[in-house]
A and B are shown apart, each in its own frame.
Chain A
Amino acid sequence: MAYSEKVIDHYENPRNVGAFAKDDPTVATGMVGAPACGDVMKLQIKVNEQGIIEDAKFKTYGCGSAIASSSLVTEWVKGKSLDEAAQIKNTDIAQELALPPVKIHCSILAEDAIKAAIADYKTRHGS
C-alpha cells in the first residue's frame, strides 16, 4: 500500500515521542486500542493552570498511519484548551494525512486518545 507523503514524514520523524512522569499532577494520560487489534495509542497531555495544553507526548504500537495520526495530534493539541482539543475530529486527522478508507480507524483511535486523556485529566481534577 502506498502511504501519503505526510504519513511517511510523521512516521520517519515522529513528533513528541516519549512520556511524562506519571506522578506529575499536571499530566493526564489516555490509552486506547488493543494489542490484538494491532494498535495501541498512549497520549499524554500536560495542562497548565489556565487549562491550556502546554505539551503533549505519545507512544504508539501500530501501523504507520496509527503512528502518524498520534504524532499529528500531539502537534495539534498543543496550545489548545481542553474544550478546544476535544473538538478535534477524526475526519480532520484523516484528511490532513490523506488516509485511505482502510486506515480511517487510525484517525478514530487518535480522536479517542485525545478524549481519553481529557477525561483522565477531568477525573483527576474532579471537574
Chain B
Amino acid sequence: MKLPIYLDYAATTPVDPRVAEKMMQYLTMDGDFGNPASRSHRFGWQAEEAVEIARSHIADLVNADPREIVFTSGATESNNLAIKGAAQFYHKKGKHLITCKTEHKAVLDTMRALEREGYEVTYLDVQHNGLVDLGQLEAAMRPDTTVVSIMMVNNETGVVQDVAAIGELCRAKGIIFHVDAAQAAGKVAIDLQTLKIDLMSFSAHKIYGPKGIGALYVRRKPRIRLEAQTHGGGHERGMRSGTLPTHQIVGMGEAFRIAKVEMAAENERFAKLRQRLWDGIQDIEQVFLNGDATHRVPGITNISFNYVEGESLIMALKDIAVSSGSACTSASLEPSYVLRALGLSDELAHSSIRFSIGRFTTEEQIDHTIKIVHEAIEKLRAMSPLWDMYKDGIDLNTVAWVAH
C-alpha cells in the first residue's frame, strides 16, 4: 500500500483524471485558449461556449438556472462577495447580520470586516450536536436584519444544518439567506428550486476539480442584487470582473457534472467506509465522535481521543494524512473554535482528529488506518500523565493546573 494514506479530502481533493484531461484542452495553441470575452473571433466564441457549458453543469447539480451562477476564485471569494455585496447593497434597509460561531473563517472574518464598517453582527451559538437552534435564530432576527449566513456542511465536523427550515424563516421575514456550500456541493442533494436560499458559495477543489475556482449562486427570482467587490470589465453581469479562466471553469464544470452522476453511489460507499472506520476505533477507551451522529455527511468523521494531545497524535499518525481539530499545526496553538463552540473542553478539542474520506479511499486504507490509530493511542497514552491520573480515578477538573 502506498503511504501516507490520504484522509484529508475535506481540506482538498486530487483533481479527477477525467477533469484534468478536459482542462488540458483549454490551455495551449492547439486547444481553446481564447478569452471568453473576445467577441470578434472564433477563439473567443469557442472559449465562451466551453464556459457556458461548464456553467450549466454547475447549475444542474444544484437545480439552478445557469444565469444564476457567477464565477469567482473560490468559496472564500464567493463568501466575501455574497455577504459584503448583499450587506452593502441593502444597507439602507438595515445594518444587522446573523451568522453562527462554527462558520468557516471566510465567513467569520468577512463579518468582522463589516463590523469595522459599522455593521452589527450576531454570532449564534450552536447546540452540542453542532446544529443551529432555529428558535434562537428566529429570536435574533430584527427588522434591520439584511443577511443570514449559515453553512450547509461544517468543514470540521461534517454536520449538516437544516438550511430548508432556515430558508423558510428568512424568506418569511424578507431576509437574504446566504449558504456556504463549499463542503456540501456534490456531497448532499441541493435543490435550489425548492430551497429558499438566495446566495450559495461553491468551491471546485473540494469535489475533484482544480483549486483557484469557485462560484456564487445569485438568485434571480426573487432577484438578489449585490454590490460588486471587484471592479473592471464588467464580467459576470457586473458582479465579478476579471477575465474568466476557461480551463479552471471547464474543470469545475466537469467536476460538478461527474458529481451529479456519481454522488448517490459514492455516498453509499462512503457511508460503509465511515462505519468501518468508526467500528474499528470506537472500542478504544475514552473516544468520542464529535457532532450530530445522523445529520452529517458520510465523508467527514471527527473524533476526540481523550488524554492524548492532537499534534503529537498527528505525528504518530505520520502514515496517514489527516488534520487535527487542534489548530496547533497551523501554528496558532489554539484549540479548534468549531469544537469549542460544540461545548468540548479545551483538552478534548486539542485531542481531536478529522478523518475525511473521498473518491479514492479504499477499504484496505481504512483497515490500515485503524491499525495505526490503535498503535498511536497506545504509545501516547503510555506516555501521558493525564492518562495515568484518569486511570487512578483522579478528576482532572479538580486539579489546580498552572496555566502558561
Binding site for B on A (CB under 8 A): 1, 3, 11, 14, 17, 19, 31-42, 59-64, 66-67, 102, 105, 108-109, 112
Number of interface residues of B (CB under 8 A): 29
Q: In the complex, what's the smallest C-beta–C-beta distance from A107 to chain B, in angstroms?
A: 12
Q: Which residues of B contact A31 (CB under 8 A)?
A: 385
Q: Which residue of B lies closest to A41 (CB)?
A: B385
A36–B345 CB distance below 8 A: yes
Q: Is B254 an interface residue (CB 8 A)?
A: no
Q: Which residues of A sit under 8 angstroms from B310, Cβ to Cβ?
A: 38
In the bound complex, CA of A57 to CA of B326 (Å): 27
List, sorted by A's number, 8 A–B pairs whose CB atoms are closer than 8 Å.
A11-B312, A19-B388, A36-B403, A38-B328, A40-B386, A61-B387, A63-B312, A64-B311
* Chain A residues in 8 Å Cβ range of B165: none
Nearest 3 A/B pairs, CB to CB: A34-B401, A36-B346, A63-B311
Query: Residues of B with Cβ closer than 8 Å to A?
Result: 307-312, 315, 326, 328-329, 331, 333, 335, 345-347, 350, 382-388, 396, 401-404
Closest residue of A by beta carbon distance from B311: A63
Q: Which of A32, A33, A59, A108 contacts B388 (CB 8 A)?
A: A59
B395 vs chain A, min Cβ distance (A): 12
Which residues of B have CB within 8 Å of A66?
Answer: 309, 312
- Minimal beta-carbon separation of B318 from chain A (angstroms): 9
A108 — which chain B residues lie within 8 A by C-beta? 404
If the complex has contacts A35-B347, A39-B309, are A61 and B403 also in contact, measured as CB distance less than 8 A? no
Whether the pair A35, B386 counts as a contact (CB closer than 8 A) is: yes
Contacting residues, chain A, for B331 (C-beta < 8 A): 1, 102
A14 to B382, CA, bound (A): 11
Shortest B335–chain A CB gap in Å is 7
B384–A11 touching, CB < 8 Å: no
B384 touches A60 (CB 8 A): yes
List chain B residues, Cβ under 8 A from A40. 385-386, 401
* Residues A36 and B401 in contact, CB atoms below 8 Å apart: yes
Q: Assuming the A-B contacts A19-B388, A60-B383, are A38 and B401 also in contact, with contact meaning beta carbons closer than 8 angstroms in the complex?
A: no
Residues of A within 8 A of B350 (CB): 35, 38
Q: Other than the known A38-B335, A64-B315, what 17 A-B pairs have Cβ atoms closer than 8 Å?
A: A1-B331, A11-B315, A17-B382, A17-B383, A32-B404, A35-B345, A36-B403, A37-B404, A38-B326, A38-B346, A40-B386, A41-B385, A60-B383, A61-B307, A61-B387, A63-B328, A64-B312
Query: A38's contact among B333, B384, B385, B402, by CB below 8 Å, is which?
Result: B333
B333 partner residues in chain A, CB cutoff 8 A: 38, 102
Considering residues B307, B331, B350, which has the most beta carbons from chain A within 10 angstroms of its beta carbon? B350
In the complex, what's the smallest C-beta–C-beta distance from A81 to chain B, in angstroms?
26
Instruction: Please pick, from B309, B346, B385, B401, the residue contacting A42 in the complex, using a CB distance under 8 A.
Output: B385
Which A residues are CB-close (under 8 A) to B346? 35-38
Taking a contact as CB atoms under 8 Å apart, the answer to whether B328 and A35 are in contact is no
A38 to B402: give the CA distance in the assembly, Å. 12
Contact B396 A35 (CB under 8 A): yes
Bound: A32/B403 CA distance, A: 8
Complex alpha-carbon distance, A35 and B335, angstroms: 11
- Min CB distance, B390 to chain A, in Å? 11
Known: A19-B388, A38-B328. A14 touches B309 (CB 8 A): no
In the assembled complex, the Cα of A113 lies from the Cα of B62 at a distance in Å of 57
CA of A105 to CA of B388 in the docked complex: distance in angstroms? Answer: 24
Give Cα A66–Cα B386 distance, bound, in whole angstroms.
Answer: 14
A67 & B383 in contact (Cβ 8 Å cutoff): yes
B384 A61 Cβ-Cβ under 8 A: yes
Chain A residues, Cβ within 8 Å of B388: 19, 59
Contacting residue for A1 out of B329, B345, B384, CB 8 A: B329
**Which of B311, B345, B404 contacts A105, CB < 8 Å?**
B404
CA distance A40 to B309 in the complex (A): 10
A112 — which chain B residues lie within 8 A by C-beta?
Answer: 404
Residues of B within 8 A of A61 (CB): 307-309, 383-387
Asked if A35 and B326 sit within 8 Å, CB to CB, the answer is no
Instruction: Give bound CA distance, A105 to B403, whole Å.
Output: 12
Q: Which residues of A contact B329 (CB under 8 A)?
A: 1
Neighbouring A residues of B345 by C-beta, 8 Å: 35-36
**In contact, A33 and B402 (Cβ under 8 angstroms):** yes
A36-B345, A64-B315, A102-B331 known; A59-B309 Cβ under 8 A: no
